Chains A and B, each alone.
Chain A
Amino acid sequence: MEGRRISPSRITPVRKKGHNWVKAVIVSCDMVTAYGQGTDACWKGILSGKTAISRLNRFNTRAFQSDYAATVKNLRYLQKDSLVKQMLKSLFSKTSALIPKDAKLILATTKGEIDLLEKKMITGAGDVSNCSLGHLPGKVSDLAGVKDTGIIISAACASSTTAIARAAAMVRSRLTDCVLVVACDSITEFVFSGFSSLMALDGFVARPFDKNRSGLSLGEAAAFAVIMSESRAKREKREMIGEIAGWGLSDDANHMTGPSRDSEGLILAIKKALKTACVKEREVGFISAHGTGTVYNDAMEIRAFRAVFKNEKTPVYSVKGGIGHTIGAAGLVETIIALRALKERKVPPTVNLEDVDNDALGWVSPGQHPAEENKKALITNAGFGGINAALVLA
């Protein structure tokens, strides 16, 4: 088959030094995680070094690889409202006033209200056609109080990172000046049994970047961020929490469930993110890694960081030992935590890390430490299907 080839060298970053680009800034955000309601609860929980992963009693786990997960308290399973709807209700009950009504809505999730399908198939209650992902954006739109009926972006465990990248791109390319990104996923029997079948779970609690890590712990969360053009944020006198300065999206094109052995997909995503942000490697102050706690993911990430940053050992942490792997919500939760870390100039600890893997020595630490001033944060996420996403935050 003859024809053209597409080469990465021709990528033109939108942002160039000296150009008058539109900055995409986060002006409000919040979350619900297993540490409780609010960003403060999650931030303090992670800094405490104590995990929110505990024994799971939502459904029978006898057949599974693990009976531990990071669940949000007081959610009611297989009831009228899905788990994600309960989390979102709680999230927006106190924060909807912060969200402009004209914001475009992007919802990031992998399985959305999958518990409604479980309920239908276990009890016969409900309508199967109401269980597809397409029904969720309208409900979120109502809860958040925005006019837009929204779209869903799903990119496996990089869903919300990808959604943030698209939102920032929409703002920077002047398609809109305000996007509400909402992310949510929950722990249900469907999801838990699936991860167990893939032998992806740690029998106890996830230990990202630890020598003895053996899998991930599932978590659940809901979060939102309002991403706005800097000019509108200034006009409306909104607090600018941070900037989505760059992003990079890629795929390993390698394997459905396993990460690339040479990390080339993640390397490509990180390089794209640094390039679109016009940021040099030495300007990155810390990295919020995907850090699931699986043997292969963490090794793949450290290889990618070594390839990109070479001898510049940059502090790396993962929040998943604290709040578990919150699947489609992970990227947004981690972005909000990284923005707090930039603001407070603290690199959070990697919870549950005891014995640092040899490859990660000098990169990852079980304790918190100061972040350098005027540096950027790099966020990385990866998902099934070889999906990679990276963000640069300023």
Chain B
Amino acid sequence: MSNICGIGWINPEEYGCVMRGLKVSYENKVFLKKKIFPLPFKNLGRLDSVSRMTCYAVSLALKDAGIKYSLNRKQDIGIIGTNTSGSLQSDINYFKDYLDSGRTLSRGNLFIYTLPTSPLAEAAIYFGLQGPLLYMTLSQPGTAALLRNAGNIIVCGDTTAMLAVKGDEAEAVCFVLTQEKDLSRGKACSLEKITAVAERTSRLDEVITGCIAAVL
């Protein structure tokens, strides 16, 4: 069985950590970088918006779980993600740019983000996540199926910890799942309990409210 020991989230007005009971309002994104990342993140500005939101949520979730990262050491933590439209907006951005050039010039830095795994890969590179990395499009809405799949990856012994991310351009949430035996320290909640919350709604604010209630 797996447990959830950290949940980080961000939307256009607020960000927070569920286990720590942290909820911060913000108006200017300029200050987010320093407040959310404990270590320097030089390349954050060149990432696309989904990747940036994914990295914010991952940083908050790791902090919530009390998991350290460093810029030169990697850990066998996996990352699985989903969102509402895959990489559709990045696809449009890339191909529009290509068509606008008269179909002669295509830009690699736009093409890269046409893979739905790219935001997860950006997070893996920065946080040193060396475990399984995959994106899923699920038939059921919401994050419940994502959490179940992340839990199954741990149960099957593929890795000992997984980050499950639902990230779009405007908002993102990240759950830290670990093996049950890893939870001797800090607050945690069973995967079943959080999955039950996520099953009831696909709205991020409602998921977070439900998770806060489940953890208390």
Contact = CB atoms under 8 A, between A and B. Distances in A.
Interface in B36-51: 38
B160 A10 contact: yes
A384 B115 contact: yes
Interface stretch (B23-31, B96-104, B189-197, B203-211): B96-104
Interface residues of A, number: 75
Contact of A131 (B78, B91, B127, B128): B91
A4 B122 contact: no
B111 A198 contact: yes
Contact of A249 (B138, B158, B179): B158
Interface string A11-31: 111100000000000000000
B117 interface: yes
A12 B179 CA distance: 11
A134 B115 CA distance: 14
Interface string A115-153: 001100110000010011110011000000000011111
Contacts of B179: 10
B216 interface: no
Interface in A378-394: 383-387
A272 interface: yes
Contacts of B117: 154-156, 383-385, 387
Contacts of B129: 251, 253
Given A14-B157, A154-B137, A385-B124, A175 B67 contact: no
B115 A385 contact: yes
A173 B79 CA distance: 20
A250 B130 contact: yes
Interface in B56-87: 63, 65-69, 74-79, 85-87
B125 A194 contact: no
Nearest to A133: B86
A272 B75 contact: no
Contact of A173 (B108, B137, B155): B155
Given A117-B92, A134-B86, A385-B115, A256 B66 contact: no
A117 B91 CA distance: 8
Given A3-B65, A14-B156, A268-B76, A250 B94 contact: no
A90 interface: no
B86 A132 contact: yes
Nearest to A165: B158
A249 B78 contact: yes
Contacts of A384: 112, 115, 117-118, 121
Given A10-B160, A153-B135, A111 B114 contact: yes
Q: Report, as a range, how many residues of chain B touch the other chain.
A: 35 or more
Contacts of B94: 190, 194
A196 B106 contact: yes
Contact of B76 (A8, A117, A383): A8
A197 interface: yes
A254 interface: yes
A1 B38 contact: yes
A330 to B, nearest CB: 14
A97 interface: no
Contacts of B35: none
A172 interface: yes
A274 B94 CA distance: 39
Interface string A247-274: 1111111111100000011001000100
Interface string B164-200: 0000000000000011001001000000000000000
Nearest to B179: A10
A268 B108 contact: no
A114 interface: yes
A256 B88 contact: no
B96 A121 contact: yes
B6 to A, nearest CB: 10
A122 B65 CA distance: 47
A385 B120 contact: yes
A176 to B, nearest CB: 11
A273 to B, nearest CB: 10
B136 A152 contact: yes
B212 interface: no
Interface of B: 38, 63, 65-69, 74-79, 85-88, 91-92, 94-96, 98-99, 103-108, 111-112, 114-118, 120-122, 124-125, 127-139, 145, 149, 152-153, 155-161, 178-179, 182, 185
21 contacts: A3-B65, A6-B76, A6-B160, A10-B160, A12-B157, A63-B104, A114-B91, A121-B95, A121-B99, A128-B88, A137-B139, A152-B136, A154-B86, A173-B152, A190-B95, A195-B111, A251-B124, A251-B129, A256-B122, A264-B74, A264-B130
Given A11-B157, A154-B117, A249-B131, 16 more contacts: A7-B75, A8-B130, A14-B157, A151-B136, A155-B117, A156-B115, A156-B117, A194-B108, A196-B106, A249-B158, A250-B76, A253-B125, A253-B127, A257-B108, A264-B74, A384-B117
